[in-house]
Amino acid sequence: MEKEINRWYKKLWETKGARFRAADRLGLHEYWSTITVSLITVYIISINLLVIIPEVERTPLLSDTNITYFTICASILMLAVSLIISSQNYRLRIDKYHECGRRIEEIYDRICLWKNSAINPTKYELEKVSVDYLNIIDKYENHKPIDYRFFKSDNLGEYRIKCKIWYKIRVKANYYFRTVIVYIIALIIPFLILLFLKSTSVNTVGEKDALQKNTGFAWNLEKEKTQNENRNDSTKWSYKNWKADTQDVSVDGKPMINGVFPVPKYELVDSTFNGLGNSGNWKGFELQDKKIIYHSLYVKKNAVNQKFIKDKSDEVFFTIAVLTDSVDLKRYSHTNLSVSSRNHPHYMGQGFVKTKSNNIDFISFITADRNSYAIVNMRLFDLRIGRIVLIAPQKDGTLRSLQLDSPILSSHEMKEYMEGMMISDLKVIDFFTRKNNI
């Protein structure tokens, strides 16, 4: 009888201890899962707020599209995680484990009374202990093995375990990793991502600051906005340029009329502007029986472009070569060209080349942030992939184009480059001498 009492004593003691430990484990899950979901939600909102930083001051990784995509995906993920956590019913299960432990403890107290007194239970009383225990166990969720092992680690004196210290460290490490550390990791990873994004943003700003320090000039969207405000602020206007531009206000300019607008003082942006220019061959370069007019638009060296052109005196930002069958060597009415710095620090030029039956009109510009484009008879050319555009009018009135890449060249270098290319470049020669050309 005593042996049976001792067996029940130990069994009930372990079971109630494991159930209470299971309640504690779920309590940790409930606490840390709530904190994790809340803080990660804050992280997601914080990342979404990055859109208030001008996009030009962010890395490509932090573009509006990427931020929107990330926050939508992260929000959906957090919604799914929240639903999973909610489905675990931690609070209800905690209460059930506690209730189970208390009911087992009632039986355990009965056993303790028999064990510590001279009163011997009857066979019926022991059978009732078994029935009561099984009825309790059947009504509640069982604890996990980790709960039992944790209970044992707190009562190592009652068990025969080798290397008790190692056993306790291993069990508790496993227990807290599952209930606490996994949530801490989930909190740290987004925080590290935020730090990384912040550092890349700082690096980008640092690179721009370094560029400005090295060249004395850097351009971004905020500066463009400031320049736009200057255009609308009469106290910032250049009256020297205004006086020069309004001395002869006439409707001229081809293909686009040159409008007269107030412009901000150049030194508000950069004081090193040194002029624009054009070069080329107005008489026409002879290629077999063909005549080719070419023009180049260039900006003289200043702080805006000096980092990119190094020791060159100027930079050609657009060259156009047009096959023509009409050259006026007296008045040179077959072609015209003009450049303008009134959009400083952006520069542009325009012109035309006539044929007997058509006009080839063009406009080109380069911006302070090194974007450059040209429009030729409503055809758009992105000059970042090639600053040289060849145009061959066809006998049927249509046009053909060939865009060529080249290194950054000065106006003097471009003249040699173009004429050398039309003499020796088979691709260019073939383009201009095809039978369907004019």
pLDDT in tens, 155-208: 998 999 889 999 999 999 999 999 999 999 989 988 888 777 666 655 554 544
> Helix %, strand %, coil % for the chain, to 5?
55, 20, 25
Residue 311 CB coordination number (10 Å): 7
pLDDT exceeds 60 at position 214: no
Instruction: Based on the fold, state whether residues 414 and 277 are members of the same structural domain.
Output: yes
Tens digits of per-residue pLDDT, 79-114? 999 999 999 999 999 999 999 999 999 999 999 988
pLDDT exceeds 70 at position 55: no
- What's the sign of the alpha-carbon dihedral 77, 83, 88, 94? positive
Instruction: Based on the fold, state whether residues 264 and 399 are members of the same structural domain.
Output: yes
Tokens 């009135």 — which residue?
Answer: 397
Q: How many CA atoms within 13 Å lie on the side-chain side of 280?
A: 25
Kindly state whether residue 427 falls inside one of the protein's structural domains.
yes
Kindly state whether residue 196 falls inside one of the protein's structural domains.
no
Please count the structural domains in the chain. 2
Query: Does pTM top 0.85 for this prediction?
Result: no
Instruction: Based on the fold, state whether residues 54 and 125 are members of the same structural domain.
Output: yes
Instruction: Based on the fold, state whether residues 176 and 59 are members of the same structural domain.
Output: yes
Instruction: Based on the fold, state whether residues 172 and 77 are members of the same structural domain.
Output: yes
Answer with the one of 157, 190, 223 that is the final residue of a domain.
190
Mean pLDDT of the chain: 90
Tens digits of per-residue pLDDT, 372-386? 999 999 999 999 999
**What confidence score (pLDDT) does residue 51 get?**
83
Instruction: Based on the fold, state whether residues 328 and 424 are members of the same structural domain.
Output: yes
Instruction: Based on the fold, state whether residues 180 and 266 are members of the same structural domain.
Output: no
Distance in angstroms (rounded) separating the CA atoms of residues 363 and 305: 20
Instruction: Based on the fold, state whether residues 392 and 284 are members of the same structural domain.
Output: yes
Kindly state whether residue 92 falls inside one of the protein's structural domains.
yes
Kindly state whether residue 20 falls inside one of the protein's structural domains.
yes
Q: Are 409 and 317 in contact (CB under 8 A)?
A: no
Tens digits of per-residue pLDDT, 389-435? 999 999 999 999 999 999 999 999 999 999 999 999 999 999 999 99
Kindly state whether residue 233 falls inside one of the protein's structural domains.
no
Instruction: Based on the fold, state whether residues 180 and 301 are members of the same structural domain.
Output: no
Kindly state whether residue 244 falls inside one of the protein's structural domains.
no
Q: What residue numbers bound the domain in which 42 lies? A: 2-190
Kindly state whether residue 421 falls inside one of the protein's structural domains.
yes
Kindly state whether residue 236 falls inside one of the protein's structural domains.
no
Instruction: Based on the fold, state whether residues 182 and 288 are members of the same structural domain.
Output: no
**What confidence score (pLDDT) does residue 216 get?**
58
Distance in angstroms (rounded) separating the CA atoms of residues 36 and 185: 10
Instruction: Based on the fold, state whether residues 266 and 368 are members of the same structural domain.
Output: yes
Tens digits of per-residue pLDDT, 220-260? 999 999 999 999 999 999 999 999 988 877 767 889 988 89
What pLDDT band is residue 56 in, cutting at 50, 70 and 90? low
Instruction: Based on the fold, state whether residues 186 and 305 are members of the same structural domain.
Output: no
- Average pLDDT of the residues in 62-76: 88
